[in-house]
Amino acid sequence: MRKSAISLLSCLAIFARAMSVDSLEDASPMLELLPEYVNEQDDIALLDKDSPDEKGDFFVFLQKFPLEPIDVFFHTEVVVCNKDKFSTQQIELLEQEIAEMKDFAKVDKSVWSTWSMPCVELGYGGSFCEESCCSVPHGVNQLDYPLNAHRAVIMNADTEEKELYIYGSSDISGNQAFHDVCHNKCWSDWKGTDYNLITNNCNTFTSTVLSCVYGLSEKKPNLGISDMVDVTCANKCDALSKKFQPGGGETALM
């Protein structure tokens, strides 16, 4: 648990007692997946490394939303966009940010609000489903996600307060990243019932994608108690690696 979050945790525990609830989790909102997204995985998302959509260079973003009704808790998702969808000027802007930043850089809303290029959205929320990655939707809405969309995979995100951050670039597509984290166990099975407000939440999923798939920083912008787990990857999660083939070999359990 990160020391920087301890004082906030203590304050929220006091808040929980003041509200006459038994625990912090009782006083905190669950990041509940939208019902229509449970077990939502489209057939067109089958991994084909020879597909043009899976080749090229990709920008990796994080989007951050406060949770309703108060902005003490936060939800994050990873958004991956093919560089081919950006103009030369937009690419130069983002590449300059990447070259100069440490961990991540905020993209001004006045800039990204005009960027409607299709991307892949990767997010996780709690639900009652019990199949691997059943709470990581990967259907049409996620595979064709406009970068400037005010939308999340959970129902209680304040999507109008979205913030966007650039984390880096990669040759791994968003669809590939989904398979890498869901093809075999990668930190968690990401079942809906695996969700835990503190130890295995949406931000833990974001950390896993950023760190275990893309090899990028898992540090995030001022999430406080919403992001208290450091994800460590003994091996990179890779659906095409021998270690992560279905039904055999080592899994990416951290």
Could you report the per-residue pLDDT of 194-234, keeping only the tens digit for each? 999 889 999 999 999 999 999 999 999 999 999 999 998 87
Vertex 50, ends 165 and 185: CA angle to 5°?
Answer: 60
Q: Which two tokens stand for residue 39?
A: 């077990």
Q: In the chain, which residues have pLDDT < 50?
A: 2-29, 44, 242-254
Identify the CA nearest to 137 among candidates 211, 40, 21, 68: 40
pLDDT value for 52: 60
- Give the per-residue pLDDT at 25: 46
Measured in degrees and rounded to the nearest 5, phi and psi for residue 39 equal: 60, 30
- Helix/strand number for the chain, H first, E second: 7, 6
User: Can you give the pTM of this predicted structure?
Assistant: 0.83
pLDDT digits (tens, 9 = 90+) for 188-199: 999 999 999 889
Say how far apart CA 254 and CA 251 lie, in whole Å: 9
